[in-house]
């Protein structure tokens, strides 16, 4: 029989408290138990106080989800914290899949609390590169066959999407980023603007403006997000902007709705 537990999967946003929503802060402050990757607890001390916390390292995502679901099913109020938006390469899908194994009676209430996603945070620091249709692709082939990732890179490049890359490179995955760059170079002008942001809204934030030709030489790692412009993206001063087309339209042509 259900004990009416509640399970929140909470997006912390990109890093600083100023970019974390009140809803996320309230969910953490109201929990009995907070579960996450250890580094996520830095800066949350005032919200967490003397609550019970469980910090498990990267690679223990399944364990985090199982403990969270089990504890919430016992009637506790549990928060699983995830950086950025928890629905984008975050903990939300794994926690929901794990909870789906329980019967309707056993399953706790599940609430996904959205956050400012890394792609939006990085874009804001670059200007407005995402202002037209865009595709978000992870280059990690640990859980996805590379052939599928490459098919998506080619499709997005051919159809002139702005493209955001997550998880571009790690110590063990060292050729996928170069392969992605080669696909972009085959479909777009070498001078297409590219922005690379590392640790957005954190103290060690780094921003680099380059091009498809230049991105090959740029140092990237698991903390980097790369945004590759489409055929319309332009560099204005120190910003990247993808126009929506307003300024190319006759003034009398109403652009909305």
The sign one gets for the Cα dihedral 135, 146, 205, 202 is: positive
The sign one gets for the Cα dihedral 153, 155, 160, 162 is: negative
Nearer to a second copy, 204 or 254 (CB): 254
> What residues between 152 and 171 interact with a second copy by CB under 8 A?
152, 154-156, 158-161, 167, 170
> What residues between 204 and 233 interact with a second copy by CB under 8 A?
222
Nearer to a second copy, 21 or 53 (CB): 21
Nearer to a second copy, 50 or 256 (CB): 256
User: Is residue 176 a contact point for a second copy (CB under 8 A)?
Assistant: no
Q: Determine which residue in the list 71, 77, 83, 117 makes contact with a second copy, applying CB under 8 A.
A: 117
- Give min distance, CB of 215 to a second copy, in A: 19
**Is 242 in contact with 128 (CB distance < 8 Å)?**
yes
**Helix, strand, coil proportions of the chain in percent (round to 5)?**
30, 25, 45
Q: Determine which residue in the list 48, 55, 56, 110 makes contact with a second copy, applying CB under 8 A.
A: 110
Q: Determine which residue in the list 140, 181, 211, 225 makes contact with a second copy, applying CB under 8 A.
A: 140
- Give min distance, CB of 67 to a second copy, in A: 15
- The two most distant CA atoms of the chain are separated, in Å, by 64
User: Is residue 70 a contact point for a second copy (CB under 8 A)?
Assistant: no
Measured CA to CA, the distance from residue 168 to residue 116 in angstroms comes to: 20
115: closest CA among 227, 8, 38?
Answer: 8
User: Is residue 43 a contact point for a second copy (CB under 8 A)?
Assistant: no
Kindly give the interhelix angle for 92-99 and 61-73, rounded to the nearest 10 degrees: 50
Nearer to a second copy, 217 or 252 (CB): 252
143-154 CB burial, b ≥16 within 10 A, e <16? eeeeeebbebbe
Q: Are strands 224-228 and 162-166 parallel, antiparallel or unpaired?
A: antiparallel
User: Is residue 59 a contact point for a second copy (CB under 8 A)?
Assistant: yes
- Give min distance, CB of 223 to a second copy, in A: 10
Total residues at interface with a second copy (CB under 8 A): 94
Torsion region of 48: left, alpha or beta (phi above 0 gives left; psi -120 to 50 gives alpha): alpha
User: Is residue 142 a contact point for a second copy (CB under 8 A)?
Assistant: yes
User: Is residue 130 a contact point for a second copy (CB under 8 A)?
Assistant: yes
Q: Determine which residue in the list 35, 44, 79, 125 makes contact with a second copy, applying CB under 8 A.
A: 125
> What residues between 184 and 203 interact with a second copy by CB under 8 A?
none
Measured CA to CA, the distance from residue 73 to residue 108 in angstroms comes to: 5
Q: Determine which residue in the list 132, 146, 183, 202 makes contact with a second copy, applying CB under 8 A.
A: 132
Count of residues in the chain: 257
């Amino acid at each position: 029989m259900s004990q009416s537990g509640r399970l929140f999967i909470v997006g912390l946003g990109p890093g600083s408290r100023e970019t974390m929503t009140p809803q996320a802060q309230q969910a953490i402050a109201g929990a009995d138990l907070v579960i996450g990757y250890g580094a996520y607890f830095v800066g949350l001390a005032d919200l967490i106080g003397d609550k019970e916390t469980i910090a498990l390292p990267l690679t223990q995502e399944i364990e985090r989800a199982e403990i969270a679901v089990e504890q919430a099913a016992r009637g506790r109020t549990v928060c699983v914290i995830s950086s950025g938006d928890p629905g984008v390469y975050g903990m939300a899908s794994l926690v929901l899949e794990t909870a789906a194994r329980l019967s309707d009676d056993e399953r706790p209430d599940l609430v996904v609390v959205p956050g400012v996603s890394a792609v939006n945070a990085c874009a804001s620091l670059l200007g407005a590169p995402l202002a037209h249709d865009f595709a978000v692709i992870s280059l990690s082939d640990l859980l996805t066959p590379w052939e599928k990732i490459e098919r998506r890179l080619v499709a997005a490049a051919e159809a002139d999407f702005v493209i955001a890359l997550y998880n571009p490179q790690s110590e063990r995955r060292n050729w996928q980023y170069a392969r992605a760059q080669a696909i972009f170079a085959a479909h777009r002008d070498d001078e297409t603007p590219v922005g690379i942001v590392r640790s957005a809204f954190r103290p060690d934030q780094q921003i680099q403006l380059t091009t498809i030709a230049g991105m090959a030489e740029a140092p990237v790692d698991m903390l980097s997000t790369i945004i590759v412009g489409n055929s319309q993206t332009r560099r204005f001063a120190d910003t990247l902007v993808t126009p929506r087309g307003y300024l190319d339209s006759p003034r009398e042509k109403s652009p909305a709705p």
